[in-house]
Every structure is written in C-alpha cells, then in structure tokens.
Amino acid sequence: MGIEPHYPTLSAHHDDRSLDAGFSLWREIDRQLRLHTKVGCLTQDLALPAHVFNPDALRGWAHLSLWAHYGDGHAGVCLRFDQAKLVESFLKHAAPAAFAFHGPVRYLSSQDSPPTRDIDVGQVAEFGADAVALAYAEANKDVLFFRKHFDWDSEAEYRLVMVNQSTGFDYVDIRDALTGVILGSAFPQERVQELQEALRSYPNVTVENLQFLNRRLHSFPFQGSVLQARPRSSHIWPGARRKGPLAERLLALRQAETEVKHAARLPPSSSRSPWRG
C-alpha cells in the first residue's frame, strides 16, 4: 500500500442510511488494511544482451536511486533471489485463510486510481470493519497493491502481498531462493566478518562487491575484503610553462585548439605545434 490512504466510495441501503459513515469509516478501513497487509517489495532484474554497451544497466543492483533510498547510501547490501523459488516459498507459507498475491507493479502517469468496488456501510455494521476491509482488499488487489505513480517507475518493482487475519509479521523461508548477495560500494570492512558468519548456512550463495568506475557501477567477485575506493593522488602538478593570469591562458588554449582543428583540414605540412609558444 502507499503511504497516503485510499478512500473507497461508500454505499448504503435505505435501512442503513442513518449509520454514521464518512471520514471515520474511511480511516478505520484504511487502518484495518494496513494492520492485516504484509508487502514484500523487490526489484526485477532484467538482463540485456551481452553486446550492448552496458549489459548490466537494468540489473536490480544497478539502480542508483534504490541504493540511495533503501541501501544506506551504498553501505548496505542487495539480495538476489531466484524469482520462481521465492514465489513458491511465499505461496507455500500463506495459510488457507490468507489472500496471497504477487506480480509486477504498474506505473500510472495520473495519481487518480481507477474506481473500486463500494464499501457497503450495512456490511460494516453486520460483519465488522476488519472483515469488510479484508474482503475489499481481495476484490481490489490490483488497484490497492500493484499501482504506483510514474515517478517511481525506475524501481521496476515486483511485489509479494499477503492479507490475512494476523496483525503481526509473517515469515517466508528464503533459504532455497537466495542466490547472491551484492555489497554496496561503501560496504564497511568491519562488517565483513558478520556477513560471512550470516552466510555460513548459504554455501551456494555468491557474493559480489560493487564499485564505481567512470560513474558506472561494476560488479566484482568478493575476495574476502571489500574493494576500496581509489585514494586521491597527492601528486602536485608543476606550474604551467605559459605564464599569465588564468583568463589569458584559457584564451590561448582555445586559440591553440582552433589552430589544431584548422591544421587537421589542411594537407600535411611541417608547421609547428600550437602547443609551443
């Protein structure tokens, strides 16, 4: 569900019109939906052909905005799953009384949601807001759980949604579905031992380490210690041979570049280099 509440339309039969229905009922339906809904949010990993310039551009770990929003500023980790095995475990866990859905999120350019089925005020009075809220979630699952504003489309989100009678957390076994752990480019070295201990029960899981090269994330096999960013060079360049203030030297540089381009269009000659004053 989104952060902002979803207010369905309300309907009442003649005998129920005296019931107090409005914002209080909307808030209660929204509260019940949030109490009983568990949402697992993941990113779809799309593989591009190897011949393209950046075949990893649409990998789940390559989304810079996700590292900024959810990856502790690149100091966290990205978990890679086998989608089919994860969904199988998720559905296997769901109790018979639960509503379990999964699928990709659709991104809409408008924030207006499509119309949903009414909430019947009489049903709330008869069966309770909690029961009506769960039935409403099942009937309108696509609108409630698989729609987001187009501003978020870079997340390529895939959701696992469970609505049940419990108001606590639910557990889904990921041991057979987890295939890899990708360390952010700022993952701290002091947490490596903790990571290795956590992965002792996952002998077949691969670990990779990300680093920026030319403003692009690259994945490298993890060798037991995290890759460190290249230190800044302490080398100090000597002063320019051409003397004078910056404005004059910049103008001279531009003139020299113009001369080089002009010379490149002429037949070969023994003209001197414009870089030498």
Write out pLDDT tens, residues 179-214.
999 999 999 999 999 999 999 989 899 999 999 988
- Outline where the chain has alpha helix (H): 23-36, 64-70, 83-93, 121-127, 129-139, 141-145, 192-198, 246-264
What SS3 class is residue 61?
A: helix
How does pLDDT run along the chain (277 residues), one tens digit per residue?
556 666 677 777 655 555 556 678 888 888 888 888 999 999 998 878 888 888 888 899 999 999 999 999 999 999 999 999 999 999 998 877 678 999 999 998 875 555 556 788 888 888 888 888 888 888 889 988 999 888 888 899 999 999 988 888 888 999 999 999 999 999 999 999 999 999 998 989 999 999 998 888 899 999 888 876 666 667 777 888 888 999 999 999 999 999 998 888 877 655 555 555 5
Within this chain, do residues 20 and 138 fall inside the same structural domain, yes or no? yes
Q: Do both 184 and 258 map to the same domain?
A: no
Q: Is the domain of 246 the same as that of 277? A: yes
Question: Is 167 among the domain residues?
Answer: yes
Closest-CA residue to 22 (of 118, 134, 121): 121
In a domain, residue 230? The reply is no
Q: Is residue 233 situated within a structural domain?
A: no
Is residue 193 in a domain? yes
Q: Are residues 264 and 211 in the same domain?
A: no
Task: Please check whether residues 146 and 273 belong to one and the same domain.
Answer: no
Cα separation, 201 vs 180, in Å, equals 13
Tell whether 182 and 262 lie within a shared domain.
no
Q: Residue 81 is part of which domain span?
A: 10-221
Same domain for 267 and 142: no
Spatial separation of the C-alpha atoms in residues 71 and 188, rounded to whole Å: 13
Rounded (5°) CA angle 139-145-150: 130
- The contacts of residue 240 (CB under 8 Å, 6+ apart) are 249
In total, the chain counts a number of residues equal to: 277
Q: Which helix (H) or strand (E) holds 38?
A: strand 37-43
The pLDDT, as a whole number, for residue 190 is 93
pLDDT for 177: 96
Asked if residue 142 is part of any domain, the answer here is yes
Residue 175 falls inside a structural domain? yes
Q: Which of 35, 90, 76, 65 is nearest to 157 (CA)?
A: 65
Torsion sign, CA atoms 266, 270, 272, 275: positive
Residues 197, 79: one domain? yes
**pLDDT tens digit string along 236-258?**
778 888 889 999 999 999 999 99
- Whether 40 and 174 share a structural domain: yes
- CA-to-CA distance for 136 and 121, rounded, in angstroms? 12
Handedness of CA 142, 143, 144, 148 (dihedral sign): positive
CB under 8 A, 24+ apart: contacts of 186-191: 186/73, 186/74, 186/75, 187/74, 187/75, 187/76, 187/77, 187/226, 188/75, 188/226, 189/225, 189/226
Strand-pairing partners, residue 181, are 79, 207
pTM of structure: 0.76
- 118 in the same domain as 52: yes
* Same domain membership, residue 84 and residue 207: yes
Question: For the chain, how many structural domains are there in total?
Answer: 2
Q: Is residue 166 part of a domain?
A: yes
Residue from 127, 128, 137, 99 nearest 28 by CA: 128
- With respect to residue 2, please indicate whether it lies within any of the assigned structural domains: no
Task: Based on the fold, state whether residues 144 and 248 are members of the same structural domain.
Answer: no
